[in-house]
């Protein structure tokens, strides 16, 4: 589906929810996509992209950044502490802060680098064993811990279980954000971004609906 169609669906969802036009940021998830497809979206003027692996992003985005101004790159996949420095140098936002060890590493590196990407704390709303993210019951304490480390926490992120109604998870994430005074909500993907917007998403992460299916 062309980028313009996704943008107009986002605009419609914003209007339906009584939200201001432009209050939702579209992160075009370019992981695994061939460079020609990514380039086509850059040529259309879009600048906000998401990747889930540091290595893969490091292999393609520096070259794009030389040719296109104003790229805004978001890490949406798990981050190992030994790649934290590289991630902080490459990305403008990190959506996968999910454990104290990583938070402490980011805080130390932020001191050293004098800057830090915008951070989102990932919450494992479905309490799935294989999934990253802090458990909902531990979210308040972890948010407080990150704030005590002076980290720039902008919001929360979740990836609902594939076999459950996503809106329940979006509502839970919104509730945790609200009681912690956080504005940012990174939630909603190709199949469910409109319901995420209805429940307050500020960042939707849309891949296949823009670029087509990923072939691994
Ligand atoms: C791949 C990915 C997306 C995009 O998924 P689509 O279904 O292709 O829109 C969104 N968020 C995360 C964390 C992802 O890894």
Query: Measuring from atom 7 of ligand 1, which residue has the nearest CA?
Result: 190
For the stretch 137-166, pLDDT in tens is 999 999 999 999 999 999 999 999 999 999
Average pLDDT over the chain reads 97
Domain boundary assignment for the chain: 2-211
Class of the CATH domain delimited by 2-211: alpha beta
pLDDT band at 214 (very low <50, low <70, confident <90, very high): confident
Separation of 109 CA from ligand 1 center, angstroms?
27
pLDDT band at 191 (very low <50, low <70, confident <90, very high): very high
| pLDDT for residue 168 | 98
Ligand 1 binding residues, C-beta < 6 A: 29, 31, 52, 76-77, 159, 189-190, 205-209
Separation of 31 CA from ligand 1 center, angstroms?
9
Euclidean distance between CA atoms 201 and 194, whole angstroms: 9
Q: Under a CB-based contact definition with an 8 Å cutoff, are residues 173 and 3 in contact?
A: no
Best residue for ligand 1 mutational test, from 1, 25, 51, 52 (most atoms within 8 Å of Cβ): 52
Q: Under a CB-based contact definition with an 8 Å cutoff, are residues 74 and 97 in contact?
A: no
Give 117-173 as a DSSP string.
-EEEEEB-TT--TTS-SB-HHHHHHHHHHHHHTT--EEEEE----TTS-HHHHHHHH
Euclidean distance between CA atoms 159 and 194, whole angstroms: 15
| pLDDT for residue 173 | 99
For the stretch 34-80, pLDDT in tens is 999 999 999 999 999 999 999 999 999 999 999 999 999 999 999 99
| pLDDT for residue 215 | 81
Please say if the pLDDT value at position 216 is more than 80: no
76: number of Cβ within 10 Å? 26
- The pTM of this model reads 0.97
Best residue for ligand 1 mutational test, from 3, 51, 76 (most atoms within 8 Å of Cβ): 76
For the stretch 70-110, pLDDT in tens is 999 999 999 999 999 999 999 999 999 999 999 999 999 99
């Amino acid at each position: 589906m062309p980028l313009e169609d996704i943008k107009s669906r986002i605009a419609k969802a914003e209007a339906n929810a009584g939200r201001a036009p432009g209050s939702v940021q579209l992160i075009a998830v370019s992981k695994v996509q061939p460079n020609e497809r990514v380039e086509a979206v850059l040529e259309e003027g879009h600048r906000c992209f998401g990747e889930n692996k540091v290595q893969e992003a490091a292999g393609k985005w520096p070259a794009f950044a030389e040719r296109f101004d104003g790229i805004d790159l978001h890490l949406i996949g798990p981050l190992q502490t030994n790649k934290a420095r590289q991630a902080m140098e490459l990305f403008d936002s990190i959506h996968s802060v999910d454990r104290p060890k990583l938070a402490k590493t980011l805080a130390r590196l932020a001191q050293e680098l004098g800057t830090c990407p915008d951070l989102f704390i990932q919450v494992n709303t479905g309490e799935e064993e294989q999934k990253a993210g802090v458990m909902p019951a531990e979210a308040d304490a972890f948010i407080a811990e990150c704030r005590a480390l002076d980290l720039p926490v902008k919001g929360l992120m979740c990836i609902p279980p594939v076999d459950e109604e996503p809106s329940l998870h979006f509502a839970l994430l919104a509730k945790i954000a609200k009681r912690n005074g956080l504005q940012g909500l990174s939630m909603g993907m190709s199949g469910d971004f409109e319901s995420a917007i209805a429940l307050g998403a500020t960042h939707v992460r849309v891949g296949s609906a823009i670029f087509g299916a990923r072939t691994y």
